[in-house]
Chain A
């Protein structure tokens, strides 16, 4: 009985828990507040979409989860282990359970190594000594991502298109059978015609390998297509988190509403609404006081400048960091 309870607790425990993460870095003597006090949960088997404008800290957050960027404060709990407290070998072992897929698939592959070596590299690093076993694993994973292993393994990255390179990157990320994959804008650099293929492949791989995904993107349509839940980020802070359908239907944060309005409607008679997109986002070097969105928000008042809004539940499963939510 006790064991069952413990098991249930294990299952409901989020795979990744980010607690009050702060990432800052110095540029020319000034501090860039890239990620400020972000808390997130990602359940096992879930896909969390992370959206926001360029430079809002999405990618930094993804890399800080893997400890590729040093966090100033906060915790990253992966399967109960605090990654921010880990160093050296322990961290390297834990990183093997978390993989990363990048925006630029061609730059992600070493131009002077053969595809077979690139995909086998994770196995070598994690200590799989038997070359036959490695070859078999590389074969299997390349076939799984839709490439013919026999044709591919002896080639160099420049012989492939962007979509094929992204398939190779996905194969490399999956060869160790990880639990969690961070996709950092995996389709933004690809042709529109290839995007759907790669997104379908990611879905397929998620089912096949039982993955949990953090899907970072600035394209709302892409995020809507793949995510179970969506988190919206603005200037280093989380604005809103909620189930995908619900968030797209009834946004609570004015910024989410603004983003949704900015999606072009495929109808030439519909005029774009011009009133909402006010100005550029402020610099993350000197973010506005209180709510960071207040400088562009139609609902902002004195309270927004004085008080930082906390993430509060506004509907079942949906929470927003706003003093004047839309619902």
Chain B
């Protein structure tokens, strides 16, 4: 009889899973994210002045007990606009990549698994989408359908599909040749089962790492579109539109542009930091080979 290769020492060591030090930076990033999400969710409950009430006598007021971060060019409370703007930035920043992740991820996996003509069609149509100037698409959609958060999310989501497709397809291509996929075929597994049980858990990891990156990029792009006036319609505030409005008074009150810019910078940085740390944590092979 073959010998048992697992010793008892290993059994004793098993429950104590290796703990990795996460670092101060990670916890700062987590703290900032929790704060941003909390105020964005609780924006209506918090004792803040209305973000759209104008007070023409208090234009560009400095920091005070009444207006913690002062007021903007129309005398609207800056802190309140920042908090409500976080909502827009997060909604668009999270939901647009979800569209890209589901559609692009599914197309990429199918293309990488089935290959052949289907793959050519998918890759070809994605190249067409990539070649289409994104600003023109955004302009066209907002011109015909009107400016709204929903439309903005859809545009940014569709624009993200090709990148997600490429990430999923590249991961699937290398995995589909691995022996464990052939083993599943030899076992008589259906295509659906191979895609969902064998490939998806392996493809999901690079996709989620890319998702967090896409969230960061989308928040910036939403800002850029709002800055150009293609984003959310006024008087709703988003960080991008606040920077855009602040541009007009850069010489007298530069903080109106800088405060939302700093908020956006910290949020994007936090997403990237958390994404990197999570990816390192969930890789099963880390430190094992």
Q: What's the minimum C-beta distance from B68 to chain A, rounded to whole angstroms? A: 47
Q: Are B3 and A146 in contact (CB under 8 A)?
A: yes
B3 engages A125 (CB within 8 Å): no
**A136 → B minimal CB distance (Å):** 19
Complex Cα gap A122–B198 (Å): 13
Q: Is A99 an interface residue (CB 8 A)?
A: yes
Contact B2 A156, beta carbon cutoff 8 Å: no
- Separation in Å of the B180 CB from the closest CB of chain A? 5
B289 CB contacts on chain A under 8 angstroms: 158
Contact across chains for B184 and A111 when beta carbons are under 8 A apart: no
Does A108 reach chain B (CB closer than 8 Å)?
yes
Interface status of A66 (Cβ within 8 A of chain B): yes
Tell me whether A19 is interfacial, beta carbon within 8 Å.
no
Q: Mark A189-206, 1 if CB is under 8 A from B, else 0.
A: 000000001001100100
Q: How far is the CA of A323 from the CA of B24 in the complex (A)?
A: 78
B180 touches A108 (CB 8 A): yes
A95-B188, A113-B201, A151-B11 as given contacts; A100 in contact with B183, CB under 8 Å: yes
CB contacts under 8 Å to B, within A138-182, are 145-148, 151-152, 156, 158-159, 161, 163-164, 167, 169, 172, 176
CA separation between A111 and B186, bound complex, in Å? 18
**Cβ of B281 to closest chain A Cβ, rounded Å:** 14
- Evaluate contact between B187 and A146: CB separation under 8 angstroms: no
How far apart sit A121 and B193, CA to CA, in the bound complex (Å)? Answer: 10
Give the contacting residue for B190; candidates A92, A109, A147, A204; CB below 8 A. Answer: A92
A294 to B11, CA, bound (A): 58
The yes or no answer to B116 lying at the interface (CB within 8 A) is: no
How many residues does chain B have at the interface if contact means C-beta atoms less than 8 Å apart? 30
Give the residue of A126, A156, A204 whose beta carbon is less than 8 angstroms from that of B284.
A156
- Interface size range of chain A in the complex: 35 or more
B57 at the interface (CB under 8 A from A): no
Bound together, the chains give a CA A158 to CA B289 distance in angstroms of 7
Is A283 among interface residues, defined by CB-CB distance under 8 A? no
In the assembled complex, A315 has its CB within 8 A of some CB on chain B = no
Q: Are A172 and B190 in contact (CB under 8 A)?
A: no
> In chain A, what residue has the closest Cβ to B188?
A92
Give B113 Cβ to nearest chain A Cβ, in Å: 15
Q: How far is the CB of A68 from chain B (nearest CB, A)?
A: 6
Counting CB contacts under 8 A, is A72 at the interface?
no
Across the interface, do B189 and A125 meet the contact criterion of CB distance under 8 Å?
A: yes
Report the minimal beta-carbon distance from A85 to chain B, rounded to whole angstroms.
Answer: 17
A163 CB contacts on chain B under 8 angstroms: 5
**B136 CB within 8 Å of chain A:** no
With A99-B186, A126-B188, A158-B284 as contacts: A148 and B6 at CB distance below 8 Å: yes
Please tell me which one of the listed residues A98, A159, A172 contacts residue B288 in the complex, with CB atoms under 8 A apart: A159
By the criterion CB–CB under 8 Å, are B2 and A197 in contact? Answer: yes
| Partner of B5 from A92, A109, A164, A200 at Cβ < 8 Å | A164
- Most chain B CB within 10 A, of A125, A152, A169, is at A125
- The reply to whether the CB of B45 lies closer than 8 angstroms to some CB of chain A is no
A110-B180, A110-B201, A110-B202 in contact; A146/B186 too (CB < 8 A)? Answer: no
B4 an interface residue at 8 Å Cβ cutoff? Answer: yes
Counting from the closest, the 8 A-B pairs by CB-CB distance are A146-B2, A92-B188, A108-B179, A112-B201, A102-B179, A95-B188, A100-B186, A107-B179
